[in-house]
Amino acid sequence: MTTTASIVLLGALVALHRSESRRQPRLPGEIVSRNSDKCVMETGASERDIQLCQALSPADPCPIPAVDCTRGCTMCDGMPWRALGPVMGFQEYAQGEYVGRSRLPHVPNYRLRVDDLMDFVFRVTRNEIPGAYEINVGDEVTVESATDKDIKRTLVVLPDGTITLPLLGQVRAAHLSVPQLREELEKAYEKYYKVPSITVTPTKVDTKLEDLRYTVGGRSGFGGQVRSGKVTPEGTVQLPAVGSVPAQGLTLEEFKQELDERFAEKIEGIEVMPVLTARAPRFVYVLGEVKSPGRYPLDAPTTVMQALAMAGSWNNGAHINSIVVFRRAEDWRLIATVLDLRTALLGRMPCPGNEIWVSDADLIIVPKSKILRTDNYIELLFTKGVYGVAPFSGSVSFTNLTTLR
């Protein structure tokens, strides 16, 4: 064949290739023409929709075709790429913006768990108590008599709950209201005076509250006093005055109600506000045919495919259509599932029906494919096994056959 004929034939092949490329079918929703006024999008084999441009910015005048996994999905297997169409979601921001989405809350109610770290803000309420104030150990009262001026003195309630008075000796005062203590002293002094005329005046009260504030210590910007606490492995939090308080499985509001009830039994006039400062660490474990197997922290909501991305993606020969996920349920029983993510990871399925959220302590295993297992078997048999002592060198691979030498 002459040089001129070869050039002519080559030119014809190039022209044919260009004409075939122009006739290639387009995906539904693909933009086939752009101008300043309208965007023409392919939605079917012979149907075209003409839609007005969103005109969010001059640099991106036309809507981006996408698949909305919440629309039109009738099966749990997900939606295919043929559902591609105009979807709001890729052009929500102005030119140059990259702010995150507000989204919905991760969970409707966050429930406390072991190793959650909280700050407890203690605040004096100054609220009026419903009943009469009861004298406590450490309170100070002044006792005096209009009949005998020598009886007057200021006394501190001793740890045994008593005060010491002339002629009477030790008299119980703790857990009595001021009127009750006055009546008790009036009756006791009637043995010595016809009209004792006893008066009891509290001069220092709420000593339990003061002791709690001294124990907590450390003032903060909240205007109260703060103490840190962590949920123990038994699911409780240790706090002064009330001891162990159950916390695991409760919402912050439920936990606050529990604190209010327990402190109300011990000390009046104090409010305790729990503030979650750090969640317990959460991890996912990825093993098998991935680039970097190991343990990875869950700092945000994470799916199985995102966990594989943290592990450096999958290796060649990984069986990504049979990914195993092991999980511990609430009662610690072991449950497991198998996920087929091949079509999604290879870009063939925009909405995989079995892509799930990762939970704390999940174990994700990416197994070997059959051909890779066969490859490993051959390597063990011929290189490290019985045939490894044969008088020849080299390697045998099912996927990469090499010549023995």
Round to whole Å and give the CA distance between 263 and 271: 8
Q: Which of 92, 86, 84 is nearest to 39 (CA)?
A: 86
Taking only the tens place, the pLDDT of each residue in 229-268 is 999 999 999 998 888 999 999 999 999 999 989 988 888 7
pTM: 0.63
Which CATH code of 3.40.470.10, 3.40.50.300, 1.10.3210.10, 3.10.560.10 fits the domain covering 283-368?
A: 3.10.560.10
Most confident of 12-16, 170-174, 218-222, 309-313: 309-313
- Confidence check: pLDDT of 360 > 90: yes
Per-residue pLDDT at 361: 93
The CATH class of 117-128+208-278 is: alpha beta
Per-residue model confidence (pLDDT) at position 211? 66
Residue 375: predicted pLDDT: 72
Mean pLDDT score across all residues of the chain: 77
Question: Has residue 393 got a pLDDT over 70?
Answer: no
More confident residue, 268 or 274: 274
Cβ atoms of 29 and 84 within 8 Å: the answer is yes
Domain 140-204 carries which CATH code? Answer: 3.30.1950.10
Q: Are 140 and 202 in contact (CB under 8 A)?
A: yes
- pLDDT bin (cut points 50, 70, 90) of residue 382 is low
pLDDT at 53 over 70: no
Instruction: Give the span between the Cα atoms of 298 and 284, in whole angstroms.
Output: 7
Q: Looking at residues 362-386, what average pLDDT do you find?
A: 77
- Residues 205-234: tens digit of each pLDDT: 777 777 676 666 654 444 457 788 999 999
Beta partners for residue 339, in sequence order = 323
List all residues 6 or more positions away from 268 whose beta carbon is below 8 Å from its beta carbon.
Answer: 129, 133, 206, 209
Both tokens of residue 66? 């996408």
Give the number of other CB atoms < 10 A from CB of residue 296.
20
- Whether the predicted pLDDT of 135 surpasses 70: yes
Average confidence (pLDDT) over 296-303 = 93
SS (H, E, C) the chain: CCHHHHHHHHHHHHHHHHHHHHCCCCCCCCEEEECCCEEEEECCCCCEEEEECCCCECCECCCCEECCCCCCCCCCCEECHHHCEECCCCCCCCCCCCCCCCCCCCCCCCECCCCCEEEEEEEECCCCCCCCCECCCCCEEEEEECCCHHHCEEEECCCCCEEEECCCEEEECCCCEHHHHHHHHHHHHCCCCCCCCEEEEEEECCHHHHHHHHHHCCECCCCCEEEEEECCCCCEEEECCCEEEECCCCEHHHHHHHHHHHHHHHCCCEEEEEEEEECCCCEEEEEECECCCEEEECCCCCEHHHHHHHCCCECCCECCCCEEEEEECCCCCEEEEEECCHHHHCCCCCEECCCCECCCCEEEEECECHHHHHHHHHHHHHHHCHHHHCCCCCCCCCCCCCCCC
Per-residue pLDDT band for 2 (boundaries 50, 70, 90) equals low
Cα–Cα dist 235/211, whole Å = 27
State percent of the chain over pLDDT 70.
71
> Rounded to an integer, what distance in angstroms lies between the CA atom of residue 54 and that of residue 61?
6
- For the chain, give every residue range classified as CATH 3.30.1950.10: 117-128+208-278, 140-204
Q: Which band of pLDDT confidence, cut at 50, 70 and 90, is reported for residue 76?
A: low
Minimum mean pLDDT range among 64-68, 87-91, 281-285: 87-91
Q: Which range has highest mean pLDDT (99-113, 158-172, 221-235)?
A: 158-172
In angstroms, rounded to a whole number, what is the distance separating the alpha carbons of residues 293 and 286? 5
Which tokens is 92 given? 């929500």
Q: Give the model's pLDDT for residue 350.
A: 86
Q: Where in the chain is the domain with CATH 3.10.560.10?
A: 283-368
Percent residues over pLDDT 90 in the chain: 31
pLDDT tens, residue by residue, 307-341: 999 999 999 889 999 999 999 998 889 999 999 99
Report how far residue 119's alpha carbon sits from residue 288's, in angstroms, rounded to the nearest whole number: 40
Average pLDDT value for residue range 11-23: 51
CB 227 within 8 A of CB 220: no
